[in-house]
Amino acid sequence: MWARREAILGTCPRSAITAESQTTVEEFFIRRRLGLMDEEHLTARQVEAFAILEKVLAAEIKYEQHDARAAS
């Protein structure tokens, strides 16, 4: 069993990560850091994946900020 906030899985998520999904996550962070998120040059699949990753990243940042305020 694996859980993190709203996500609950019956198996470890690490074993479900494919080379393609890892590449997509890495590309997301590289493009984000370099400011290369121009949707015109992305596939529909990349746009969808990057939108999901952006939402999850924003939630993680918000949670960390809330957690840091609660700790102080």
How many domains is the chain built from? Answer: 1
Question: Residue 41 corresponds to which amino acid?
Answer: H
Over the chain (72 residues), the average pLDDT of each successive run of 10 is: 72 77 95 92 94 92 83 74
In a domain, 10, yes or no: no
In a domain, 7, yes or no: no
Among residues 59, 48, 40, the alpha carbon closest in space to that of 24 is found at 48
In a domain, 28, yes or no: yes
Note the pLDDT of residue 31: 95
Note the pLDDT of residue 13: 67
**Would you say the pTM of this structure is higher than 0.75?**
no
